[in-house]
Amino acid sequence: MVSRKNKWIPFLFLLPSLLFLGIFIYIPLIQNFYNSLFEFSVFSQTKEFVGLKAFKNLFEDQIVTTAFINNIKYAVISVLFQVFFALVLAAILEDKLFRRAAPVLRIIYFVPVMISISVIALLFGFIYNPQIGILNSFLELIGLENLAKPWLGNSTTSIYAVIAMSQWQSIGFITMLFIVAIQKIPKELYEAADIDGAGKIRKFFNITVPQVKETMFVNLLITVTGSMLVFNEPYILTNGGPGFSSMTLAVHMYQEGFVKDNMGYASAIATLIFILTAIFAVIQIKVSGTGKEE
């Protein structure tokens, strides 16, 4: 090792980062726990201490229940599409049968990932539109006009319409992560299986799936954590409505804080979101070993 003349040099290099993280990430996190014990509004000078009242209200709040169920629906559907379907899609694209088409298809599936979520959400506002939307027009075209409905204006379909849009946007991203993982699998494994006369489906389950297990697990956690945090899609498409049928926890937090000006209660919802995601984050660190030193 090289001798160190000045012990404070590394500290100087680290200082700006530590300041940014401390001021804008860690202090706000602590402040949020503190805030959730008070009642206050944006411009009020004082905060009224109410203890754990906000947390008690969380359990009695009908909207929190609906929002939480919607977050769970988001998670379950996203796992089906973005973990299982995306893995199958990636395996198909990496199959040598589609060697020529795969590069083009890969780019096509990736295009929505490159487009801002606000553009996508505005676009799907058009697609789901009862009068001009291509979804209903398409259903009419193929003779299924009785299935046509105001997708976002109907409280039973609104959350599913929002979730469907998320799948449309994100599937290419997760597929790409799986493709990267599949490309790292040693070719000899498949060659050995070929000699044994294994079919494609058997190779998929016996080689591909076990070899990408870690990526699968990481994608699972990204998807589930993302589902607990989802804000942009329901906020732009439906603002949680009609009623609160497509509310998620993050949209509820935003509305309580910045629309109804119940900052204390909104902080309690934020704490709930933090706890939900922290559980998954801890599992992820434990399994992927991020904290391990090399």
Partner 1 sequence: MMFKRRNHFGNAASSFSRNITFLGLIIFSIIILYPLYWMVISSLKSYDEIYNNVWGLPDVWHFENYATAWSLGISSYFLNSVFVTGATIILVVLIGSMAAFALSRYRSKWIDVSLYMIIGGLMMNPQVALIPLFELLTWMDLINTRWALILIYVAYRLPLTIILIRAFFLSIPRELEESAIIDGCSEFKIYTKIYLPLSIPILITTVVLTAYFAWNEFLFATVFIDSNDLKTIPSGLMNFRDALRTDWGVLLSGMVIASIPMIILLIFLQKYLVRGLSEGSVKG
Judged by CB under 8 A, the chain residues 194 through 223 that form the site for partner 1 are: 200, 214-215, 218-219, 222
Site for partner 1 in 5-24 (CB under 8 A): 6, 9-11, 13-14, 16-18, 20-21, 23-24
Site for partner 1 in 54-93 (CB under 8 A): 89, 92-93
Question: Least Å distance between CB 103 and partner 1?
Answer: 11
Question: Least Å distance between CB 57 and partner 1?
Answer: 16
SS3 annotation, the chain: CCCCCCCHHHHHHHHHHHHHHHHHHHHHHHHHHHHCCEECCCCCCCCEECCCHHHHHHHHCHHHHHHHHHHHHHHHHHHHHHHHHHHHHHHHHHCHHHCCCHHHHHHHHHHHHHCCHHHHHHHHHHHCCCCCCHHHHHHHHCCCHHHCCCCCCCCCCHHHHHHHHHHHHHHHHHHHHHHHHHHCCCHHHHHHHHHCCCCHHHHHHHHHHHHCHHHHHHHHHHHHHHHHHCCHHHHHHCCCCCCCCCCCHHHHHHHHHHHCCCHHHHHHHHHHHHHHHHHHHHHHHHHHCCCCCC
Contact pick of 26, 49, 84, 205 for partner 1 (by CB under 8 A): 26
Question: Least Å distance between CB 60 and partner 1?
Answer: 21
* Sign of the alpha-carbon torsion through 250, 71, 218, 268: positive
Question: Least Å distance between CB 196 and partner 1?
Answer: 14
Contact pick of 87, 161, 236, 247 for partner 1 (by CB under 8 A): 236
Which part of the chain contacts partner 1 (CB under 8 A), choosing from 49-57, 143-151, 153-161, 229-237? 229-237
Q: Does 100 bind partner 1 (CB under 8 A)?
A: no
Which 8-state DSSP code applies to residue 1?
-
Quick one: 72 or 134, whose CB is closer to partner 1? 134
Contact pick of 38, 39, 42, 287 for partner 1 (by CB under 8 A): 42
Question: Least Å distance between CB 192 and partner 1?
Answer: 18
The values of phi and psi at residue 49, to 5°, are -70, 125
Question: Least Å distance between CB 216 and partner 1?
Answer: 12
Quick one: 147 or 278, whose CB is closer to partner 1? 278
Site for partner 1 in 124-183 (CB under 8 A): 124, 126-127, 131-132, 134, 137, 168, 172-173, 176-177, 180-181
Contacts of 205 (CB under 8 A, 6+ apart): none
Contact pick of 52, 69, 80, 115 for partner 1 (by CB under 8 A): 115
Quick one: 160 or 231, whose CB is closer to partner 1? 231
The values of phi and psi at residue 38, to 5°, are -125, 165
Contact pick of 69, 72, 111, 144 for partner 1 (by CB under 8 A): 111
Q: Are 37 and 54 in contact (CB under 8 A)?
A: yes
Distance of CA 21 to the CA centre of its chain: 23
Looking at residue 86, its amino acid is: A
Question: Least Å distance between CB 171 and partner 1?
Answer: 8
Contact pick of 45, 97, 146, 188 for partner 1 (by CB under 8 A): 97
Site for partner 1 in 244-283 (CB under 8 A): 250, 253-254, 257-258, 263, 266-267, 270-271, 273-274, 277-278, 281
